[in-house]
Amino acid sequence: MKSCTDVKDSYVSKNSTITSCTAKIQTIFIHPNSNISAVSNLQNCIIDSNCDISSGSQITNSVIMSHSHIASNSLINNSVIGPDSALSCGEVHCSLLGSQSNAHHQSLQVSLLAPLGRGNIGYGANVGSNHTGRSPDQEIHIGEGIFLGLSVVMKFPIDLSFCPYSIVAAGTEMIPQRCSMPFSLFGGSLPNENGLIKLIPGWVWKDSGYTMARSWLKFRDRRKSVLHSWYCDYPIVRPSTVDMMMSAKKRLMTPKLSKAMEENYDDVDNWIYTDREIPGLGKTFVTERDRLNGIIAYRNAILLYALTGMLHPLESYGVVKFPSDTDNAVNINLGLSTKDRVIFPWDENYLDVDGLWDHQSIMIACELPDLRGKVLKLSDENSREDLSMVLNLLLSLKKEFTKSVFKSKKKDDIRGKKTNTFYERFHDKAENDKVVVLTKKEEGEMKFRVKKILGGIGDIEKSKL
């Protein structure tokens, strides 16, 4: 401790420092290798290992987990901040933020429950409020990896637990609702005459592949908390998130048409769907075009996940078997009831390759019904046609995802060149971006594995950006 005027009733572990703190520091427990400097107030807190708290931050009655960074006059009260998080400038009150939560700008978070973290809060976002004019008994549930854009307003109560890795566009105002459409885009246009905002299901997967690829790379590289690895290290696409996509896809495929829709099929291209026609939309609307694109996006994501699982059993055992009964495989109402709970990653079986294949094989049987009940063997000539078909489908889906990553990044180059004279001088081209390069490398590795499985036989198309 150095240049500190008021430190009381506290425990400071080895290799931790407290410097230049003229305000009160009281009743805190600091784990090893953490640094506290120039804070304004720090009381009744547990600071985990390898944390950095600085620059006028005020923290009371809170837990800051390992490898988190709090800076630039942050104000945190009565909250738990998960590992590998980074907060600066803004306020966090009575909230639970999971691992790798980020809020680098001035924003407000009140009664926010985001146990799976990985989210990002943009400048000026108002997530909740200090009161609702009544008792302070409301909260907001945010799903894993959700991005809240500039000046977003979230009004109590909201539940987006079943919308992981979605984006709420800048300036969007979300009224109280419960929505269940993962990997989607909220807002981006003015509300309709009924005050509903636009929703594009599956948009993040279909039209922003770079976001998906970069997010996974970022989560992997920025995770420093070894102590909490069981809580922080899990893939984006796993059984629980795939089940959410499957449920959303089924609901998009089976809308409950209104009487006006049934009487006017000629105008189907202009149909607008709400929660009455497609349960799970909350206070949003979906156009016919976006409904169809959402179905395609979810189907491609599900099949890419599931067919990738075929590679291990084929390489290890030379055989894959698909279930014949898929009647109870999909819960079409997943996330619609307040009784539904998101399955936490540490309760899933995604680390067991054989156990994971059990789920993947069911998804394949759901999406490719001709394979239900079949056993495909590399040694069986009668299986070669089916194997070649599904493995080439896998490669085409992987190629499409690689293109999506490239195209979504290429948009930056196109816009940048049109608006900034010196853009090309200071920015890497999309084809040289490390995320694009890594994604293309992964596609090549998959192609090599498939060729090896099929012994070089089959029409495997070369992949090009």
As a whole number of Å, the CA-based R_g of the chain is 25
Coil/strand/helix, residue 353: helix
Distance, CA of 419 to chain centre: 31
Which pair of structure tokens corresponds to residue 61? Answer: 């009655």
Q: Which backbone phi and psi does 38 adopt, to 5 degrees?
A: 55, 40
Q: Each residue of 344-394: pLDDT tens digit?
A: 998 887 778 888 999 999 999 999 999 999 999 999 988 989 999 999 999
pLDDT for res 136: 66
Mean pLDDT within 88-113 = 95
- What's the whole-number average pLDDT of the chain? 92
Any residues with CB less than 8 A from the CB of 380 and at least 6 apart, and which? Answer: none
Which of 20-29, 106-115, 240-249 has the least mean pLDDT? 20-29
| Pairing status of strand 158-160 against strand 177-178 | parallel
Any residues with CB less than 8 A from the CB of 339 and at least 6 apart, and which? Answer: none
Instruction: Give 132's pLDDT tier (boundaries 50, 70, 90).
Output: low
Q: Each residue of 144-176: pLDDT tens digit?
A: 999 999 999 999 899 999 999 999 999 999 999
| Pairing status of strand 58-60 against strand 41-47 | parallel
Find out whether 126 and 153 touch, Cβ atoms under 8 Å.
yes
The three state secondary structure string of 78-130 is: CCEECCCCEEECCEEECCEECCCCEECCCCEEECEEECCCCCEECCCCEECCC
In this structure, the number of other CB atoms found within 10 A of the CB of residue 455 comes to 9
Coil/strand/helix, residue 174: strand
Q: Which backbone phi and psi does 243 adopt, to 5 degrees?
A: -60, -35
Please state, in angstroms and rounded to a whole number, the distance separating the CA atoms of residues 24 and 1: 13
Instruction: Give 135's pLDDT tier (boundaries 50, 70, 90).
Output: low
Tokens 């973290």 sit on residue: 117
Instruction: Give 462's pLDDT tier (boundaries 50, 70, 90).
Output: very low
Q: Is the dihedral of CA 199, 201, 203, 204 positive or negative?
A: positive
Percent of the chain with pLDDT over 70: 96
- Say which DSSP state 365 is in: H
287 CB burial (10 A radius; 0-12, 13-18, 19+): middle
pLDDT for res 367: 96
Tokens 């970069």 sit on residue: 214
Q: Each residue of 397-444: pLDDT tens digit?
A: 999 999 999 999 999 999 999 999 899 899 999 999 999 999 999 999
64, containing H or E segment: strand 63-64
- Say which DSSP state 328 is in: T
Residue scoring higher pLDDT (464 or 365): 365
Coil/strand/helix, residue 45: strand
pLDDT for res 464: 40
pLDDT for res 463: 43
Q: Which residues of 100-109 are buried (b: 16+ CB within 10 A; e: fewer)?
A: bbbbbeebbb
Any residues with CB less than 8 A from the CB of 299 and at least 6 apart, and which? Answer: 249, 367
pLDDT for res 328: 85
pLDDT for res 130: 56
Find out whether 264 and 235 touch, Cβ atoms under 8 Å.
no
Helices marked H in 193-351: 203-207, 209-222, 229-232, 239-253, 259-262, 288-308, 311-317
Any residues with CB less than 8 A from the CB of 317 and at least 6 apart, and which? Answer: none
In 3D, which of 108, 79, 112, 77 has the Cα closest to residue 91?
108
pLDDT for res 248: 97
Q: Each residue of 245-291: pLDDT tens digit?
A: 999 999 999 999 988 888 888 889 999 999 999 999 999 999 999 99
In 3D, which of 280, 346, 357 has the Cα closest to residue 312?
357
Domains, the chain, ordered by start? 2-161 (2.160.10)
Q: Which residues pair with 88 in a beta bridge?
A: 71
Q: What type of residue sits at position 282?
A: G
Please state, in angstroms and rounded to a whole number, the distance separating the CA atoms of residues 165 and 202: 10
pLDDT for res 460: 47
Q: Which residues pair with 270 in a beta bridge?
A: none
Which pair of structure tokens corresponds to residue 162? Answer: 């079943």
Question: For 212, what's the count of Cα atoms within 13 Å in the CB-facing half-sphere?
Answer: 26
Find out whether 84 and 101 touch, Cβ atoms under 8 Å.
no
